[in-house]
Structure 1
Amino acid sequence: MSNVSRISLTPNWQLLVLSNGHGEDMIAVRILEELQQQSNPPEIFALPLVGEGRAYQKLGIPYIGSVRTMPSGGFIYMDNRQLMRDVHGGLLQLTWSQIKAMRRWVSSQKRLGNKIAILAVGDIVPLLFAAFSGANYAFVGTAKSEYHVRNEAGLLARKSKAADWENFSGSIYHPWERWLMSRRRCRAVFPRDSLTTKILQQWPIPAFDLGNPMMDGLETTFSSQRFYCADVQQQELARPLNVTLLPGSRTPEAYNNWKIMMIAVSALMASLQKQDAAINTSKSVIFLGAIAPGLDCKILCQTVQSQGWQIYPESPVPLSDPNALIFKQKDAYLLLTQQAYNECLHWGDVAIAMAGTATEQFIGLGKPAIAIPGGGPQYNPAFAEAQSRLLGPSLILVEQPAEVAKVLPSLLKNPDGLQLIAENGVRRMGKPGAAQRIADCLQERLGMGHGA
């Protein structure tokens, strides 16, 4: 083979992706899928800093270093005990080995004369790795948003004096994080929403408002139905109420969350049946359980059946999942599906939520969610409270599962409030297509353009 043909087959640039969590891995993969469709895509490598990074496997992206699942599963947010568990589980040794792996990769690529870049997805940890790699880099900030401390009207009122620390320098991103984002080799920063981008642009940071990849890939063949239409009362009488259940994906936490949610479901059914009896009507309710593929549905079914639900042979709504489990109790149906996640999001009028990413995606579709803080390690009271600030009026927190029965009916009787919630969700989570927009920008800033 001639040198000319060999050069033409060689990628023009090499990209190393750093991410620190399952959700971050998924966001990275959405961007990489779009990047691979570019006319001159990079050769891509990955280094998942937390977990095993299985999301990269479907794209055939090789790892450059060790991967390992820590005891916390990556959920150390606001929980020092989880952090200590990870330290005892070898976190420091793993981190050091990953730093050395990144340095080896950078050095080897430079020796080969390749043009290299790094994409950091997550929080300050991958950003730090990227900043000290010696290569040009870009950052997708998934963990922080200005909505944690403010909305468009100004700073949020906070109960704790310690909360002032979050915004002590005028941004949710602290000065040392902004320093890392303002280095010459940092070619692009992609905050998760417009408000955060606007704040970061006050400093010499190349921040681009291109949207949130979390809202990509949620398409469904079924149209969504919502309450906040002009004929809301007619619709409420004509069709069932669809309630999406989001218990999370981490075991064993999700099983405990499911038990709590089933208490809320039973209380809600009892409340609705009492209302129907008072006005001599009967309204069907459909509960859509969006179950992560890694969960054991047998365990969930035991909880369902202990609450009086019976197996039913036919689904009340069209689902693309032939293996969905259907239950019935009086005029209510409960579906468990591990394949029709998008349909659960689009069909639901409201969600009962104890999840991270799934809750944000549901709200991003313009729908309200009622959240019940659990025992953690992920969906604990601290996480739920922070998520309620992030999502604003679209997320309603209750302390006890039985309170869902009081909150949900009043929520759905307020079409003006639901319209505000719809607009708020789209504003805070962004419109679909962010992954492609970010990929186009990466190609320009890290790849063939911008003197990279």
Structure 2
Amino acid sequence: MNAEPGFLLISNGYGEDLVAAHIALKLRERLPRACVAGFPTVGTGAFYKNMGVDLAGAGATLPSEGFVRSISDFTKDVKHGFFPETFRLGRRLRQAAGAFDYLVPVGDAYILLFTSLFTPHSAARKIFVNVQTSEWYGSHKPFKQHYSFIERLWTRRCSRLVYVRDRRTMDFLHRRGIAQARCCGNPMMDCFTVHERAVLPRDRSIVGVLPGSKQEAYDNLKVVFDIVRLMAKRKQINNYAIALSPQLSVDKIACAYSLQPAITGTDTGLPAGDRRLYTRFSMKDNPSEIFISQKIFGDILNESIAFIGTSGTGNEQAAGMGKPVFGFWGRGPQITEKFMRAQKRLLGPSLILSPPDPELIANCMTELLCDKERLEEIALNGRERMAGRGSIACMVDEMIRYVKHTLNDE
């Protein structure tokens, strides 16, 4: 055994990879001699690699990309080898896990069950971080939204330390006999950085845009730019900052919506090749200015007064920063009416949900942005439901205390 215990973080989705990678970095910071690695069960683990976290293995890329929304999605995965690949993945995980003292499954209850079936580690050697399930959904839908009876059963039996994303869910589990449930906050709120000084121009109000990370974002942006034009005609907000995923193309958006590059915002404190933080675009026959960036997601969250959002995690993070999110559904595959209505239950008044009707959304924005009392209520609501800045440091410190305690008992 190493001088310090080893940790293997096992995740089952891209958002889960991001959380797990941040936990890994914090563990490495607190325990410099510990062996810490990641094991993504979906995809190749790009977040781990980009953040300098070693991989002990990786999973396959199935059509659903770990985001199973329907029987149809599951059927496609089955046709592409879901069952044989699951068993091959389980064997690889078992081989990798042998080199680590503690396993940290990150995701939903499925990844805890999967880890428990394929590894010999006891419940005391598994620390479960559930970043998906929340009682704020007000749903009885198992996995992703609600802790069903069967999930509570194997959670109780498979892990002696369980982290959930909000206190409401922790209280629910305590009432159901899972005393080991803990809450430090939503770790997704720790997965972005904010500069100490303002990055975007400070002499204007800016509305952020969160189009999501999948290809459907290009179509959803058509509604966004229609809203921008309507708000300009009303002489309302004229400045927008689009937080664009690295998986999407700035040039494609500029071409599709006739945006003209005006100026590039830079940070002279960064290395020469990395100073470009955003590009400012102008619109034809429209006074609005559009800032597009693939680097300052956290600053856009922090500096915008409100958001137009067709994102999953991004909408939640914006709400967690106390900002109102004007959301609408598209044609999918992710941002469907069903998905957005579930997110509305999760976020409550922080998400102002509408059909993809630019006129209706512009009316909602005009009304709400002048209502200070509602804005204050929305800020409090979002921070309560999505609270989590500093949660990963809190979790890791508790994990280390737990590990020392269990090692002493052994």
Q: Fold-level match, TM-score > 0.5?
A: yes
- Contact map agreement 1:123 1:141 (CA 8 A) in 2: yes
Match of 1:392 in 2: 348
Q: 1:239 to 1:416 in 2, by over 3 A?
A: farther
Report the alpha carbon displacement of residue 333 of structure 1 after superposing the two structures with TM. Answer: 0.6
When residues 59 and 303 of structure 1 are mapped into structure 2, their CA distance, relative to the original with a 3 A threshold, is: closer
Partner of 2:129: 140
Whether the aligned pair in 2 keeps the contact of 1:32 and 1:439 (CA below 8 Å) is no
2:216 to 242, 253, 263: 253
CA gap of 1:14–1:400, structure 2 versus 1, over 3 A, is: same
Mapped partners of 1:60, 1:311: distance in 2: 34
Residue 67 of structure 1 is matched in structure 2 by 59
Q: Which one of 306, 323, 326 corresponds to residue 367 of structure 1?
A: 323
Aligned residues: 393
Structure 2: how far apart are the matches of 1:371 and 1:186?
37
Question: 1:424–1:318: structure 2 CA closer, same or farther, 3 Å change rule?
Answer: farther
2:189–2:388 contact (8 Å) kept in structure 1: yes
Q: How does 1:22-421 map to 2 (within 5 A)?
A: 22-39=14-31, 42-77=34-69, 79-106=70-97, 108-109=98-99, 116-132=101-117, 133-135=119-121, 136-149=125-138, 165-166=140-141, 172-183=146-157, 186-202=159-175, 203-216=177-190, 217-222=192-197, 240-250=204-214, 252-270=215-233, 272-273=234-235, 285-305=238-258, 309-313=259-263, 322=276, 324-329=278-283, 330-402=286-358, 403-421=360-378
Q: Secondary structure at the match of 1:47?
A: strand
Identical amino acids, percent of aligned pairs: 28
Q: CA deviation at 1:71?
A: 1.8
SS of the residue 1:335 aligns to = strand
Question: Against the structure 1 CA distance between its residues 445 and 40, is the aligned structure 2 distance closer, same or farther, given a 3 Å change threshold?
Answer: farther
- Correspondences of 1:430-441 after superposition (within 5 Å): 430-441=387-398
Amino acid paired to 1:311:
P
Q: Secondary structure, in 3 states, of the residue corresponding to 1:289?
A: strand
For 2:185, what is the secondary structure of its paired residue? coil
Per mean C-alpha deviation after superposition, the further-off stretch among 391-400 and 216-225 is 216-225
- Normalised by the size of structure 2, how large is the TM-score? 0.88
Encode CA deviations 1:50-101: one digit per residue, 9 max, x unaligned.
1221111135444344422222232223x22222222222222221111111
How much does 1:15 deviate?
1.8
Q: Which runs of 5+ in 2 are unaligned?
A: none
Q: What is the distance in 2 between the residues matched to 1:319 and 1:377?
A: 40
When residues 332 and 60 of structure 1 are mapped into structure 2, their CA distance, relative to the original with a 3 A threshold, is closer
Paired position in structure 2 for 1:231: none
Provide the rounded CA distance (Å) in 2 between the counterparts of 1:49 and 1:35.
21
C-alpha contact 1:351 1:368 (8 A) present in aligned 2: yes
Give the secondary-structure state (helix, strand or coil) at the position aligned to 1:355: coil
Change (3 A) 1:316 1:324: closer
**Deviation at residue 213 of structure 1 after TM alignment:** 1.3
Distance 1:317 1:259 in 2: 30
Q: Secondary structure at the match of 2:110?
A: helix
Q: Which has the larger radius of gyration?
A: 1
Question: By how many angstroms is 1:449 displaced?
Answer: 4.3
Q: Is the 8 A contact 1:49 1:95 kept in 2?
A: no
User: Is the CA contact (8 Å cut-off) linking 2:131 and 2:187 kept in structure 1?
Assistant: no
CA distance in 2, matches of 1:393, 1:104: 47
Residues 319 and 352 (structure 1), Cα distance of their counterparts in 2 relative to 1, 3 Å cut: farther
Q: CA RMSD in A?
A: 2.7
**Cα deviation 1:77-130 (Å, max 9, x = unaligned):** 3x2222222222222222111111122234x44xxxxx6221111112211123
Change (3 A) 1:61 1:314: closer
Going from structure 1 to structure 2, the CA distance change for 1:243 and 1:316 (only over 3 Å counts) comes to: farther
> Structure 1: which 5+ residue stretches go unaligned?
1-6, 110-114, 150-162, 226-237, 274-282
User: How much does 1:197 deviate?
Assistant: 0.8
Query: Within 1, Cα distance between the matches of 2:245 and 2:357?
Result: 21
CA deviation profile, 1:38-59 (whole Å, cap 9, x unmatched)? 2465312322111221111135
How big is each residue's C-alpha offset from its partner over 1:177-200, in whole Å with a ceiling of 9 and x where there is no partner?
A: 1112212x5121111011111111
Q: Determine if contact 1:122/1:143 at 8 Å carries over to the other structure.
A: yes
Q: List per-residue Cα deviations over 1:228-281 (Å, max 9, x = no partner).
A: xxxxxxxxxx9633110111112x2222222232223223333x23xxxxxxxx
Q: Is the 8 A contact 2:207 2:237 kept in 1?
A: no
